[in-house]
Chain A
């Protein structure tokens, strides 16, 4: 899993069977100092409560679909939690 910031929403009224009702959000992956890292991706919202601006963590690959009610669906990124806090040890550096 990695950290990301929700930056937008995606509306797609025509989707493959199984993805009806799945909320899609644009997320910007972050490094662990919460700086943008890499390109934004579209992720399914498995917690049903994430929204723009929120700090979340997401899972990629086959495990993303496992987070949804319907697990045999073509999804490659899913938000699985909303982050309350990231605590780092003293002296851990900024991950750069």
Chain B
């Protein structure tokens, strides 16, 4: 899983049928300290994540299809959690 921040969304009307009625969130990938790493992903929202929230992304197809209950869907990236806090152990 990856940490990310919701920074926007992607609107699309023409898409493959597995994307119908799905919300696509634009997510900046974050390091454990919450700083952007420079990468991003477009993720399917599965839990009602909102703008600006830190979320947990799953970037793997089998698990994505499982949580979305969408066998055969060409979806790999899903928001699977809203992060309250990341605590790093002192080193």
Chain A residues within 8 Å of B, Cβ to Cβ: 1-3, 31-32, 46-47, 49, 57, 59-67, 71, 78, 80-89, 92-93, 95-96
B75 touches A49 (CB 8 A): no
Q: Which residues of A contact B52 (CB under 8 A)?
A: 89
**Known contacts A86-B10, A88-B26, A95-B28: A71-B72 contact under CB 8 Å:** yes
Q: Which residues of A contact B36 (CB under 8 A)?
A: 93, 95
Q: Which residues of B contact A60 (CB under 8 A)?
A: 76
State which size class the interface on B falls in. 20 to 34
User: For the complex, is B11 an interface residue (Cβ under 8 Å from A)?
Assistant: yes
Tally of A-B Cβ pairs under 8 angstroms = 103
**Known contacts A31-B40, A86-B26, A88-B26: A66-B73 contact under CB 8 Å:** yes
CA distance A81 to B15 in the complex (A): 4
CA distance A82 to B80 in the complex (A): 24
Query: Looking across the interface, which residue of chain B has its beta carbon closest to that of A49?
Result: B14
Query: Looking across the interface, which residue of chain B has its beta carbon closest to that of A57?
Result: B42
Q: Mark B2-38, 1 if CB is under 8 A from A, else 0.
A: 0000111111111110110000101010000000101
